[in-house]
């Protein structure tokens, strides 16, 4: 089982700047922002009145849900997750058995905050003494595993069906956990991904922390500025990303299209010790996560061609770059190419890792780098570590083999994955 | 049987039918779960829809009287008269 190779055979995405892989690919190649102004946030006196939410058409809803499932349905995270998950499954060329469950296939579909709007609806009814009028679906729409439960039923999955949660590293972690499950011989195929609700009741806590930009309400598309000298906080986002992972053997036997191989990865925590805290990373752990992932992939640090960073557009961006540099022992001209999707999508929280992994896999498969947008002036602290030409500001073609993707989250948790061209 | 209630009730039941059950198969003596294959958890939704449509309240201990179409109609009739 040690030699089981795990490949990506399907992709699905619901991103603020594109719903469905074709639209998303076009958006990231052209540097299209999905950040918009929301009058609801203005009405509610948010400092940051902008954000990223996927635009889901009624047609997309009707494609994946029955009219009955949509009755009293009010859980955006489940909608995004199902749309991304079902797209990935179909993209992988997999059929759905309506009769029997498939014990070789499962899902790990992570969440941060799920079903908040449904929860709010329920809370109002409960407080009015009207619990009996909640209807039959308020549990499934608000439980943390709601998204994996919906997907498990729609796809007839008979292996592990669960939802992980580790703040902003959730999505990357879901893919790592699914990879490990296949690698360990416990599943042949896993749908891995994550989802996050958006809107005032998810974003409020971040607004209260004063870590969101407040000066771009009139210019939303310019607000998210990873690595920029004038980065002023992350723009909140939402959505979902999904990848079908399976053994190379299974993919080849099915004659499936293969996007990329996952060759290793790791997750750890800084334990909120040293400089780490609930909200700040312990750099010792971040660096260790990266070096352990490289080791796990059985490559050398020199082999990493491209980094897709976490890079949220806060004052911590330069620290992340320093950590990458020290972990890989590479700097200046020798530093890998690096980009951040968050300039276009904002920070999609629990969904960020999976959406960004979809973008990473597309870059590997089609051998290009998407541009870092809104990056007029690179943070000088970053330029002390990395040469400017390693931070592409326009789309570029690039022949490359290895991409490292990391995500970090509240709770001082880290996750790093290594993807390889196949 | 009250045809007006029957027509209204049929419209309420329709969206809860599984995809492979035709609305035409809703009959007076249909058992909602056993004959029409409606997921039993949806009975609470049907009750809420009935309450809204007929402006009545159905108590929890009356749910047993809504197992068939005919029994539901009888209950709705009785409740509507006692309003």
Quick check: pTM over 0.90?
A: yes
Q: With cut-offs at 50, 70 and 90, classify the pLDDT of residue B29.
A: very high
Percent of chain B with pLDDT over 70: 99
Using CB atoms, pick whichever of B15, B45, B60 lies closest to residue A136: B45
Which among A244, A179, A172 has a CA at the least distance from the CA of A6? A179
- A113, A414, A73: which is closest to A269 by C-alpha? A414
pLDDT of residue A2: 60
Question: In Å, how far is A133's CA from the nearest CA of chain B?
Answer: 7
Whole-number pLDDT of residue A315: 87
ipTM computed for the complex: 0.88
Phi, psi of A157 (to 5 degrees): -75, 135
- With a cut of 70, say whether residue B1 has pLDDT above it: no
Per-10-residue mean pLDDT, chain A, length 422? 88 98 98 98 98 96 94 96 98 96 98 96 97 95 97 98 98 98 98 98 97 97 98 97 98 98 98 96 98 98 98 95 98 98 98 98 98 98 98 98 98 98 96
Q: What pLDDT sits at residue A1?
A: 47
Rounded to whole angstroms, how far apart are CA atoms A305 and A334?
A: 10
B15 and A133: CB-CB below 8 Å?
Answer: no
> How far lies A69's CA from each of A14, A22, A62, A150, A240, in Å?
19, 27, 10, 10, 19
Specify the pLDDT at position B64.
Answer: 86
Contacts of residue A244, Cβ cutoff 8 Å, sequence gap at least 6:
A8, A9, A10, A11, A88, A89, A91, A92, A94, A189, A190, A191, A192
Any idea what DSSP says for residue A342? H
**Interchain CB contact of A39 with B (< 8 Å):** no
Residue A218, CA atoms < 13 Å, CB-side half-sphere: 1
Q: How far is A189 from chain B (nearest CA, A)?
A: 29
Centre a 10 Å sphere on the Cβ of residue A71 and count the other Cβ atoms it contains: 16
Residue range(s) defining the domain that contains residue A206: 1-421
Query: Which of A135, A137, A140, A153 should we substitute to test contact with B (largest number of B Cβ atoms within 10 Å)?
Result: A135
Structurally, chain A folds into a number of domains equal to 1
Q: On the CB side of A195, how many CA atoms lie within 13 Å of its CA?
A: 33
* pLDDT: which is higher, B63 or A240: A240
CATH number reported for the structural domain that contains residue A118 in this entry: 3.40.47.10
């Amino acid at each position: 089982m040690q030699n089981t190779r795990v490949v990506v055979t399907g992709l699905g995405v619901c991103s603020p700047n594109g719903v469905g892989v074709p639209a998303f690919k076009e958006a990231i190649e052209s540097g299209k922002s999905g950040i918009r102004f929301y009058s609801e946030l203005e009405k509610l006196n948010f400092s940051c009145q902008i954000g990223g939410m996927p635009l889901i058409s009624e047609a997309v809803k009707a494609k994946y849900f029955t009219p009955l499932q949509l009755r009293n349905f009010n859980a955006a995270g489940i909608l995004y997750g199902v749309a991304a998950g079902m797209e990935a499954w179909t993209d992988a060329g997999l059929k759905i058995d309506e009769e029997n469950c498939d014990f070789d296939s499962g899902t790990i579909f992570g969440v941060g905050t799920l079903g908040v709007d449904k929860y709010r609806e329920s809370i109002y009814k409960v407080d009015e003494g009207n619990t009996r009028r909640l209807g039959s679906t308020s549990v499934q729409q608000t439980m943390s595993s709601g998204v994996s439960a919906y997907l498990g039923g729609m796809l007839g999955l008979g292996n592990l069906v669960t939802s992980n949660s580790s703040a902003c590293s959730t999505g990357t972690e879901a893919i790592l956990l699914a990879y490990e499950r296949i690698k360990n011989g416990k599943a042949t195929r896993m749908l891995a991904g994550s989802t996050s609700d958006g809107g005032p009741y998810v974003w409020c806590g971040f607004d209260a922390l004063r870590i969101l930009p407040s000066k771009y309400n009139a210019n939303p598309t310019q607000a998210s500025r990873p690595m920029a000298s004038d980065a002023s906080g992350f723009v909140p986002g939402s959505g979902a990303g999904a990848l079908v992972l399976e053994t190379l053997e299974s993919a080849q036997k099915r004659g499936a299209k293969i996007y990329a191989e996952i060759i290793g990865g790791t997750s750890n925590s800084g334990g909120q010790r040293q400089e780490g805290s609930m909200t700040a990373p312990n750099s010792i752990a971040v660096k260790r996560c990266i070096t352990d992932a490289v080791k796990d992939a059985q490559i050398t640090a020199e082999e990493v061609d491209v980094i897709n960073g976490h890079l949220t557009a806060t004052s911590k961006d330069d620290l992340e770059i320093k950590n990458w540099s020290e972990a890989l022992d590479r700097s200046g001209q020798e530093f890998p190419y690096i980009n951040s999707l968050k300039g276009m999508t904002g920070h999609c929280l629990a969904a960020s890792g999976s959406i960004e992994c979809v973008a990473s896999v597309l870059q590997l498969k089609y051998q290009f780098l998407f541009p870092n947008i809104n990056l007029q002036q690179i943070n000088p602290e970053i330029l002390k570590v990395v040469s400017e030409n390693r931070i592409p500001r326009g789309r570029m073609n690039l022949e490359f083999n290895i991409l490292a993707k990391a995500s970090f989250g509240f709770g001082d948790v880290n996750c790093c994955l290594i993807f390889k061209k196949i | 049987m009250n045809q007006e209630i029957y027509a209204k009730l049929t419209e309420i039941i329709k969206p809860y039918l599984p995809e492979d059950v035709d609305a035409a198969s809703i009959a007076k003596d249909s058992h909602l779960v056993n004959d029409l294959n409606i997921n039993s958890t949806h009975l609470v939704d049907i009750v809420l829809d009935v309450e809204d449509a007929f402006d009545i309240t159905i108590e929890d201990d009356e749910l047993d009287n809504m197992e068939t179409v005919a029994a539901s109609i009888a209950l709705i009739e009785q409740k509507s008269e006692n309003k």
